[in-house]
Amino acid sequence: MQLLTLFPLLFASIQAYDLVTDYSGSTFFDGWDFYGSWDNLTLGDTWWLNRDDAFKQGLAYFTPGGNPIMKVDNTSNVPFNEKRAAELTHRPQIRITTQASYGVGSLWIADFLHIPYGCSVWPAFWTKGQTWPDNGEIDILEAINLMQNNQMALHTLPGCFQPTNANDTQRGISGNIDCSTPSGCVVAETAPNSFGPGFAAAGGGVYAAQFDVSGIYIWFWSRPNIPPSVTQSTSSSAIDISDWGLPSASYPAGSCDITQFFGAQQLVIDVTLCGIWAGLPVQYLPECAAQGPTGICYNDNVVGSGENYDNAYFEVNFVRAYTTGGAVPTPTAMSDNAPASTLTATPVPSSVWTSPQGTHDAGLDNQNSSPSLSASASSARLVAPSSSAQTANTATVHGPWTGMWFTLLGAFFGALML
């Protein structure tokens, strides 16, 4: 009874939404920018292609039925080498970011038929504000390696918390509740088939997030359980979310002032390899130690023919953005390209970020500069930023446990150097 009493109070204030943008079919990619650089965000062994190269190399394309595909290269031979020595030592793939930013009062629904999975694979569907972490981050979908369940999280400045009784108002299980800590305030999905082979076998599913003054709420439904309001929606219709039931993750505004900790958000779909989560030995080895002879994520996965990445692709039915109503300006082009030569890096203390030069231990890179920790994007409800190829030259380090991985990484390499 407590659940039924509390649940409507959380987000019943807004239940009907008007469609703002439908990303689907042959025009899906028109509203997104391609990153076009190496993974300077999570230090994955990845080169995110620009738009032209993504289509030329066949990593972005459409199925015969018209669904967009974004995949990890699974045909090229990648030689072992220092990651930043040449583009050839990365494995190419895709990161895209919406040209529009969506403010408080938005709703996002993403219908995926397939999500990348496998050893070393780290996919995500998330949102980012103009500056990280000042304007917040919402991790709607994120998992690694052979995980079976999705993880959700918020990342903010100090002062935003998930309430201690959050498990009473959500289906997922809360971990850390302080959204300003390196892990963010994480919630583990409990519904089956939210990631991995199970997600694919069920025919995919739908993720949704409500970005409201009353709080931030995230849902997941496997294909057989998608509510009628979503299955009956179209590329032009409004939507009523009153049949959605309990969210998977609940972050009510009572313990986190949404307008204080979050600015307008851009949507991001990406996949990287290894990096500071999927490639960390404590995460990689329990599931993927048998993947190759070295027990190192980069060596045993990224290097070589790529045939192990046959399941590392997104197939998208649609992504839709909604608003609570009112006039909405038309977005204009904005770039998410971030060439390494123009990145503004926030140094990580040497006591945390240490690694011997010239190695690829645990699939992590040994950079001469520290990873970048802030992002530049647009900031109004549905912003029309100036068109520029260099408007987002700083980057966001995102993902559950990111800061913890840096700390563990320092300890790992410190042990190697003794």
Residues with a known catalytic role: 137, 142
Cα separations (Å) of 338 from 73, 157, 361, 397?
21, 24, 25, 13
Burial degree of 377 (CB within 10 A; 0-12, 13-18, 19+) = buried
Return the number of other C-beta atoms located less than 10 Å from residue 55's C-beta.
Answer: 15
